[in-house]
């Protein structure tokens, strides 16, 4: 699986993400894909602005759609890959969906992402996903330039 992750999933993800970023727009460049074994099940971008709803993160949308597609409540044989480390809202959904592997390309600020859950919290649950951070320049740049543009707009 790790070979497939490095040689197929990550390159494909980066290519798709580049396309999403090139569309520009108002949304944070958050992009998520879910794989079941070696099959891409679903991919989604943020739709927070489009729906004026701060819960419309790409991870939540992607998880919801993947479950619909697979007609299942749990994604126990799936992998989630996303541009930015999942926030605490998405972390809740990831845990409840029992996704065993979460890959992200940019760490969140201390205390804001899935990796900042305490050891006590992790051990108190009988399920916690494996977290893999694969730092990628494209994700860093996408978020940096997104917020630079925004700052200009609001200043």
Q: Which of 10, 48, 70, 87 binds Zn ion (CB under 5 A)?
A: 87
Among the candidate windows 1-9, 88-96, 111-119, 138-146, which touches Zn ion by CB under 5 A? 88-96
Strand partners for 81: 33, 103
Q: Shortest approach of Zn ion to residue 34 CB, angstroms?
A: 14
Q: Does 67 bind Zn ion (CB under 5 A)?
A: no
Cβ distance to Zn ion smaller for residue 5 or 58? 58
Q: Which of 5, 57, 103, 139 binds Zn ion (CB under 5 A)?
A: 57
CA distance 112 to 18: 25
Asked if residue 29 lies in contact with residue 149, where contact means CB atoms within 8 angstroms, the answer is: no
Does residue 18 carry a catalytic annotation? no
Asked if residue 86 lies in contact with residue 104, where contact means CB atoms within 8 angstroms, the answer is: yes
Cβ distance to Zn ion smaller for residue 44 or 57? 57
Cβ distance to Zn ion smaller for residue 61 or 90? 90
3 C-beta neighbours (distance < 10 Å), count? 7
Asked if residue 31 lies in contact with residue 10, where contact means CB atoms within 8 angstroms, the answer is: no
The active-site residue out of 27, 43, 59, 85 is 59
Asked if residue 46 lies in contact with residue 64, where contact means CB atoms within 8 angstroms, the answer is: no
Q: Which residues carry out catalysis?
A: 59
Which residues of this protein are in contact with Zn ion, per CB under 5 A?
Answer: 57, 87, 89-90
């Amino acid at each position: 699986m790790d070979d497939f992750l490095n040689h197929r999933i990550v390159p494909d993800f980066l290519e798709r993400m580049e396309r999403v970023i090139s569309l520009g727009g108002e949304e944070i460049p958050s992009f998520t894909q879910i794989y079941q074994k070696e099959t891409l099940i679903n991919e989604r971008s943020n739709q927070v602005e489009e729906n004026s709803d701060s819960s419309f993160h790409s991870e939540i949308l992607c998880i919801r759609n993947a479950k619909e597609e697979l007609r299942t409540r749990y994604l126990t044989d799936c992998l989630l890959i996303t541009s930015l480390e999942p926030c605490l809202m998405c972390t809740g959904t990831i845990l409840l969906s029992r996704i065993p592997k979460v890959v992200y390309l940019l760490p969140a600020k201390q205390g804001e992402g899935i990796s900042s859950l305490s050891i006590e919290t992790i051990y108190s649950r009988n399920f916690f996903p494996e977290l893999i951070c694969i730092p990628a320049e494209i994700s860093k740049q996408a978020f940096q330039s997104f917020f630079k543009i925004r700052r200009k707009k609001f200043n």
